[in-house]
Amino acid sequence: MGAVSANLRVLMMFSLLTVIFVAVGWAVGTYFMGNWITGALVFLVIAAALNFVSYFFSSKIVLASYRARVVNEAEAPRLYRIVRQVAGMAGMPMPQVAIVPSMNPNAFATGRNPTHATVAATEGIMQLLNDDELTGVLAHEMAHVRNRDMLVMTVAATLAGAVSFAARSFLWGSMFGGGNRDNGNFIIAIIVAITAPIAAMLVQLAVSRSREYLADREGAMMIGRPMALADALRKLETGNKARPMNMGNPTSASLFIVNPFRGGGLVTLFSTHPPMSERIRRLEELAGGLRR
C-alpha cells in the first residue's frame, strides 16, 4: 500500500504542476506568439520532458546542485556507520551516502525508491550534532526513503523550479522585449505568470508539511528515541539561522530536514516545513508516551 500511495502522490504532483506549467505556456503563447494554443502545446511537450527527467534523473540533479559527493565507508566512517545502523533498524537497503560541502547544518534524502536512494548530510551538521542527535536526523531521512517521500518532494522541487524560471522569463521578456500588448488577454497572461510560481509553491507546501510530521514520528520510533531528534531540531533551527545555505535553489527547500534558506514574514508563512516548535512538541509528547 505504501508504494501505491506514493505512486498516486507522484501522479497527482506530475498532473498539478504540469497544469500550472501549461498555464505559463498559455501566457507565453498569448503574448509572444499571438496564439495561446501553440504556447500551451509547446509547454505541454516541455512539461512531459521535464516529468521524464524528474522521475529518472531528479536525484542526480539535486545532488549536483548542492555539489554533493557520494562517499564510501573509508571516506566518511562516522556518517556511513550511522546510516548503516539506521537502515538495519528499519530493515531497509543501505542507501548511497553523500556529503554536501556546506557549513549549513542540514540533511536530505533523494531518489525514486528505497533501492535507488541517497542520504546526504552537510559538513555543518556533522560538526554540530553528536552521534545520538545525528542518528535521529538520519532516521528521519530514512523514514522519508521508506515512505518514498523523496521522489514526491524531488519532483515537486524540480518542476516548481521550472515553473518559477519560465514565469520569471516571461515577466522579464514582457517588460523589456516585444510582445502583443494590444491583445485583450495580456493582463490575464501577466496575472498567470505572477501567480503560477505561487501556485507551484503551494502544491509543494501541501505535500511536504504533512510528510515532515510523519517522518519525524516514524524516524523517532525507528530508533526508539524521540528526544534525540527533538534535541537535533533545536540545534538545527539555531544553526540554520546563523549559517543559511549559500547554494542551490529555494524551490528545493522541502527536501531538507530544516529549511536551509534564510527567510521571514511571508516566506515563513508559506514555508514548506511545519513550525519547529510544533515538531519538537510532538516529539516530546511521543517521548512522554513511550516512557509511560
Say what angle helices 276-291 and 226-242 make with each other, to 10 degrees. Answer: 160
Active-site annotation holds for 284: no
**CA–CA gap between residue 271 and residue 264 (Å, rounded):** 9
Q: How many angstroms separate the Cα of 103 from the Cα of each of 20, 203, 242?
A: 35, 29, 10
What are 97's strand-pairing partners?
A: 71, 119
Contact 209, 273 (CB under 8 A): yes
Of the candidates 1, 20, 2, the one whose C-alpha atom is nearest the C-alpha of residue 202 is 20
Catalytic residue among 133, 141, 212, 278: 141
Residue 173 phi, psi (nearest 5): -65, -40
Strand (E) positions, the chain? 69-71, 96-100, 107-111, 117-122
Catalytic residues: 141
